Amino acid sequence: MASQEPMAGKSAASIFRVQGWRVTLVAALIGLLIVLAGLMKWIVEFQVEAARERRLSEAVAREAVARCHEKAPLQAVNACLGELAAARALPSNR
């Protein structure tokens, strides 16, 4: 009977060691999941903001083209569209 007690104590210690690394692994995976969720939230917010800015700049461009087409002579329309194209070719101040 005395020979079985050290074995029982040894197996109990190894069980705690196995559970210890499992708990560590699960905690690390949960931490990674939280970090990935935060990263995904940031990416989605960034994409939404970029889309909002793109829609705004496209609306401004459409409005400028519409103002060009309000001009009566075709030469004036073409000159206005040429000015807009030249303005878009310039680097922006972003």
Provide DSSP, 1-34. Answer: -TTHHHHHHHHHHHHHHHHHHHHHHHHHHHHHHH
**How many CB atoms within 10 Å of residue 75?**
9
Instruction: Note the pTM of the prediction, 2 decimals.
Output: 0.55
Q: How much of the chain exceeds pLDDT 70, in percent?
A: 76
Structure confidence at residue 33 as a pLDDT band (50, 70, 90): very high
**Could you give the C-alpha distances from 24 to 10, 11, 30, 43, 47, in angstroms and in order?**
21, 20, 10, 28, 34
Structure confidence at residue 42 as a pLDDT band (50, 70, 90): very high
| pLDDT higher than threshold 80 for residue 9 | no
Mean pLDDT on 7-16: 58
